[in-house]
Amino acid sequence: MSDADVDTAERIVVAGYGPAAHRLVERLAHRGHGGAVTVLGAEPEPAYQRPLLTSVVDGTLPSGALRLPAAPEGVRLLLGVTATAVDRERRLVHSDDGRSHPYDRLVLATGAAPRLPDLPWLHGSDGQLPAGVRVLRTLDDTAALAGAAPVTVVGGGPLAVEAVLALRRLGRDVTLVHRGPYPLDRHLDPRAGELLSARLRALDVDLCLGRTARAYADGKLRLDDGRCVAAHDVLLCTGAAPRDGLARSAGLAVDGGVFVDDELRTDDPRVHAIGDCARPAGPAGSYGGHTTAWEQAETLALLLTGDDFPPARSRPVLRLRARELDLVRLGAPDGADETVVLADAARGRYARLSLRDNRVCGAVLLGLDRAIAAVARLYQRGEPVPADRLALLLGAAPEYAGEELPGDVVVCHCSNVTGTDLEAAWQAGARTPAALTAATRASTGCGSCGDELRRWCTEFVRREEAVSA
Amino acid sequence: MSNVLVVIGHGMVGHRFVRELRARDRDRSWRVVVLAEEPVPAYDRLHLSERARGAPEAQLSLPGADFASDDGVELRLATRAVRIDREAREVLCADGARVRYDALVLAAGSRPFVPPVPGHDLPGCHVYRTLADVAAIRAAARPGRTGVVVGGGLLGLEAAGALQALGMRPHVVEGAPWLMPLQLDEGGGAVLGRQVTELGVAPHCGVGLKSVDAGPDGTASSVTLADGTVLDTSLVVFSTGVRPRDELAADAGLNTGERGGFHVDGHCRTADERIWAVGECAAVDGRCFGLVTPGYRMAESVASTLTGETPAPLSDPDLSTELKLLGVAVASFGDAHARTAGAMEYIHTSGAGDRYAKLVLDATGNTLLGGVLAGDSSSYGRLRSLLGHRLPGAPEGLLGAAL
Ligand SMILES: Cc1cc2nc3c(=O)[nH]c(=O)nc-3n(C[C@H](O)[C@H](O)[C@H](O)COP(=O)(O)OP(=O)(O)OC[C@H]3O[C@@H](n4cnc5c(N)ncnc54)[C@H](O)[C@@H]3O)c2cc1C
Ligand SMILES: Cc1cc2nc3c(=O)[nH]c(=O)nc-3n(C[C@H](O)[C@H](O)[C@H](O)COP(=O)(O)OP(=O)(O)OC[C@H]3O[C@@H](n4cnc5c(N)ncnc54)[C@H](O)[C@@H]3O)c2cc1C
């Protein structure tokens, strides 16, 4: 986009008022956009930090604490108003309060809606969820999760795990039903998954893995193995689907999200999409989350106010928000030429670093809080990792013994010869590896200690030289 | 007048025992009689595969094995002990001879275990333990044809290497999901599997043997695996574990361990104070060891007891192993599977997954408890000698050439 294309007095209409829209209008004002900005937000609330919803569920934060800063002055904010149709010919957005809003640029920021699993018992004839079945996407959804009765969470993604932990914090009995082999199976390798499962079980979460829910009645959820689990409520955390209905009915190209190019344009150059509702080029699922939403909002604000240089994309980071469990996934293991794993089952800690040219290209870290900070920094900056990766992962260098060869080590196991035995032989005049072998029988068995024997010989020479020097 | 010490079995450990005893027994308080079932003196069983590849038998000889220059030892070859009479303190031999003892050391080793699948005893089925077994395999080998080794442990792979050296195309059938499951973890097993495949050995992991099938002439002509795969072969080598040779125990009223073997205490003594057991036939505090180094420790312990010393009870043995055959480097040492309470694992994979190194560390992260190397075992000697000690420095430096 060149400067000539940009009319800073353009009228901008934004559909949706979540984190993406919020960041967009804030950046537009900051960059001095001169035209009118209208925002339609379906929720009655002004924009808030959706990722913190689980803190409202467990009562650690009042709902007001999630609210994002107020929109800049001059932005026309219409809350509780839903955009219902787009007339691209006449460049009008219609809303459910009967009004229409003319635009020069339309930005779709309608986010995502909970994705419901394809289970017959969920989909009644009235299109409503059965009583007791809940989702967690909005502030409004949090109120229904406040009880004390047993609750079952269905799903195995980050939201499911965060919700499980929040509900446990409330003191509720929690069952997690997930069809995968362990929670976060799309993010973690099996060993990390096992550790995560163990951590959740230690928090008294009942894990039903490799299972799907077959029926729900009378506060009981029946699983495909016949087992019934107590579930006063069932919370579905089975993913989010981009809300692309408005774009679809306006005839824009959509398929699991509104297709956008690098400049966040849909196939209509006057219509853009950002945040969870957008589907940028690249493999499906390689995008998403509030960081992406913010970056897209910032990029679009720059482009709409005449800047050619959108900032570089940050790299994907998944971080679980739960004080019981420090878990981070960065990047992807693809293309790594070196992998380092630290598996500390006893303390429920795990790390897998995927390195390319000695730089982090992917990582999974569980329960290693110091390493999480250090590795995330190396990853974001693309800096080389230090030579001592064990120290990096443990957060501090272990107490190493130094290069001095300890005398009590068994050098030759076949003949049970220690370093001290070798030294005695050396003192008695055995001054070559062969002489040491003859004197001690070291290296007469399987022969695997030959290198060690030579190392000791060199060490004796060095010690003598050090003494005579 | 000297006492009589009878040793049953002249294998690697039995021989080490006699040598140790002779070295310590300066005033010749013992006269030693060794009863050896095999027709040849003890030899280096560890290097049996070299014989399979054609090395002369002499290359496997152990120093002083025939005791030709030692008049304190009488070696009776091709002489099997068939009964122990504890009351009379006599050993009865298959040739009818009776040998009285003042002390008796059992060093009978193990015999190969062959699973009772249909056809396991057809002509064409072999085991891999003795020089005689190797001679039979050499005679049966047909260059260019498929040979099947049942069992993908250390010995099975050695056998596969031997078959390959004899010009055959070896297949290895292993019930566990990867090769050398006792020593290696999944990552090390994956590297090993890839490398042996590149070297022309075909592994079939995670699938058991269903049967050995006879051809029209009544000899083995193919094997069928549990998944239905049929491999045409006239040569099958079973390498599916060993069982301690404790068959003399029952008659003699000696206890055996839960999984077999003469039950002995931490000084290798049976409940009969005149009888000891060493090597693979001994169940020390109930546990048998299928490696030679623990056997050597037992031999040394009993030799020193019988020469008037009081050795400390045996400590947990070192179960390190290294595979040197087939040009594949894998090794496992110490607590390779991180079974020690509180242990953590540090795993390094490099070279597009061709090199795998795992260190098992204690809870502090600085003391080496064990490990697994695959693809490059050049740091094996060093790491093995550091077992139970603090790491000298960062693991990467230690794995050194392995990276
Ligand atoms: C509990 C929870 C935890 C999360 N944790 C993380 C996390 O740790 N990390 C992370 O990266 N992401 C997380 N996410 C996802 C993150 O919240 C979203 O990526 C982010 O909110 C996307 O912002 P958005 O503005 O694109 O969409 P949304 O936040 O979904 O906002 C869209 C808004 O548009 C409104 N709207 C929809 N259609 C219309 C219409 N036609 N007219 C008017 N308004 C409309 C919706 O009501 C909604 O208010 C979490 C989500 C949840 C629910
Ligand atoms: C091919 C191969 C490779 C191996 N590689 C390794 C390796 O790399 N590292 C390792 O640590 N171990 C290895 N082993 C195992 C190692 O050889 C044994 O642990 C070791 O030989 C045990 O010694 P032993 O004296 O207890 O038993 P053996 O060596 O089996 O000797 C026992 C002897 O006693 C005889 N005997 C049994 N009963 C009687 C009786 N009633 N009367 C008289 N004689 C009897 C037997 O015929 C035999 O000669 C290998 C084994 C094989 C077959």
Per the domain annotation, does A317 fall within a domain?
no
Angle at A129 between CA A127 and CA A133, to 5 degrees: 175
> Which residues have a Cβ under 8 Å from the Cβ of B3 and sit 6 or more positions away?
B29, B30, B31, B102, B103
For residue range A135-157, what is the model confidence (pLDDT) as tens digits?
999 999 999 998 889 999 999 99
Q: Which of B276, B306, B336 is at the close of a domain?
A: B306
Within this chain, do residues A135 and A231 fall inside the same structural domain, yes or no? yes
Residue of A nearest to B358 (CA): A341
Within this chain, do residues B210 and B152 fall inside the same structural domain, yes or no? yes
Averaged over A335-356, what is the pLDDT?
91
Per the domain annotation, does A311 fall within a domain?
no
Within this chain, do residues B131 and B229 fall inside the same structural domain, yes or no? yes
CA distance B181 to B186: 8
Pairing of strands A92-95, A233-236: unpaired
Within this chain, do residues A217 and A204 fall inside the same structural domain, yes or no? yes
Q: Predicted confidence band at B208 (pLDDT cuts at 50, 70, 90)? A: very high
User: From the centroid of its chain, how far is CA A324?
Assistant: 16
Q: Is A193 strand, coil or helix?
A: helix
Q: Do B390 and A399 touch (CB under 8 A)?
A: yes
Q: Mind telling me how many Å the CA of A304 is from chain B's nearest CA?
A: 45
Q: Find out whether B160 and B170 touch, Cβ atoms under 8 Å.
A: yes
What percentage of residues in chain A have a pLDDT greater than 90? 63
Within this chain, do residues B132 and B227 fall inside the same structural domain, yes or no? yes
Say how many Å lie between the first and final Cα of chain B, rounded.
61
Map tokens 């070297």 to a residue.
B199
Is the pLDDT assigned to residue B402 strictly greater than 50? no
pLDDT at A122: 87
Of B16, B37, B106, B113, the one to substitute when testing ligand 2's pocket (max ligand atoms within 8 A of C-beta) is B37
Q: Predicted confidence band at A422 (pLDDT cuts at 50, 70, 90)? A: very high
Q: Do A415 and B296 touch (CB under 8 A)?
A: yes
pLDDT at A459: 86
Within this chain, do residues B396 and B347 fall inside the same structural domain, yes or no? yes
Minimal Cβ distance to B385: which of A397, A409, A446: A409
> Which residues have a Cβ under 8 Å from the Cβ of A286 and sit 6 or more positions away?
A316
Structure-token pair, residue A219? 């506060």
Instruction: Give me the domain span that covers residue A213.
Output: 120-238
| Count of C-beta atoms within a 10 Å radius of residue A138 | 18
Averaged over B288-301, what is the pLDDT?
93
Phi and psi at residue A50, to the nearest 5°: -60, -40
The CATH number of whichever domain residue B358 belongs to comes to 3.30.390.30
Within this chain, do residues A21 and A96 fall inside the same structural domain, yes or no? yes
ipTM of predicted assembly, 2 dp: 0.76
Instruction: Give me the domain span that covers residue B102.
Output: 3-111+242-306
Residue of B nearest to A353 (CA): B348
Please name which of B73, B65, B43 lies closest in space to residue B55, comparing C-alpha atoms: B43
**CA distances, A52 to each of A56, A57, A119, A136, A137 (Å):** 7, 9, 28, 11, 11
CA distance A203 to A55: 18
Say how many Å lie between the first and final Cα of chain A, rounded.
74
Is the pLDDT assigned to residue A452 strictly greater than 90? no
Q: Find out whether B202 and B351 touch, Cβ atoms under 8 Å.
A: no
Model confidence pTM above 0.90: no
Within this chain, do residues A210 and A151 fall inside the same structural domain, yes or no? yes
For residue range A203-258, what is the model confidence (pLDDT) as tens digits?
999 999 999 999 999 899 999 999 999 999 999 999 999 999 999 999 999 999 99
Phi and psi at residue A282, to the nearest 5°: 110, 170
Among A80-94, B324-338, B355-369, name the one with the lowest average pLDDT: B324-338
Within this chain, do residues B257 and B333 fall inside the same structural domain, yes or no? no
Within this chain, do residues A135 and A220 fall inside the same structural domain, yes or no? yes
Please name which of A267, A315, A254, A260 lies closest in space to residue A282, comparing C-alpha atoms: A260
The CATH number of whichever domain residue B142 belongs to comes to 3.50.50.60
Distance B118 CA to ligand 2 centre (A): 27
Structure-token pair, residue B307? 């020469």
Number of domain units in chain B: 3
Which amino acid, residue A63? Answer: S
Within this chain, do residues A455 and A379 fall inside the same structural domain, yes or no? no
Within this chain, do residues A107 and A245 fall inside the same structural domain, yes or no? yes
Within this chain, do residues A77 and A95 fall inside the same structural domain, yes or no? yes
Q: Predicted confidence band at A1 (pLDDT cuts at 50, 70, 90)? A: very low
Number of domain units in chain A: 4
Per the domain annotation, does B119 fall within a domain?
no
CA distance A49 to A32: 25
Q: Which of B196, B216, B238 is at the close of a domain?
A: B238
For residue range A85-104, what is the model confidence (pLDDT) as tens digits?
999 999 999 999 999 999 99
Cβ burial B31-42 (10 Å sphere, 16+ → b, else e): bbbbbbbbebbb
Per the domain annotation, does B314 fall within a domain?
no
Within this chain, do residues B49 and B193 fall inside the same structural domain, yes or no? no
Within this chain, do residues B107 and B140 fall inside the same structural domain, yes or no? no
Q: Mind telling me how many Å the CA of A417 is from chain B's nearest CA?
A: 10
Is the pLDDT assigned to residue A39 strictly greater than 50? yes
Within this chain, do residues B354 and B380 fall inside the same structural domain, yes or no? yes
Per the domain annotation, does A314 fall within a domain?
no
Averaged over B81-89, what is the pLDDT?
97
Within this chain, do residues B360 and B346 fall inside the same structural domain, yes or no? yes
**CA distances, A300 to each of A25, A33, A194, A297, B47 (Å):** 10, 12, 41, 5, 72
**Ligand at shortest distance from the CA of A297:** 1
Helix (H) or strand (E) holding B231: strand B230-232
Within this chain, do residues A209 and A226 fall inside the same structural domain, yes or no? yes
For residue range A68-89, what is the model confidence (pLDDT) as tens digits?
999 999 999 999 999 999 999 9
Using a CB-CB distance cutoff of 8 angstroms, which residues of chain B are in contact with residue A340? 346-349
What residues form DSSP beta bridges with A151? A174, A233
Per the domain annotation, does B234 fall within a domain?
yes
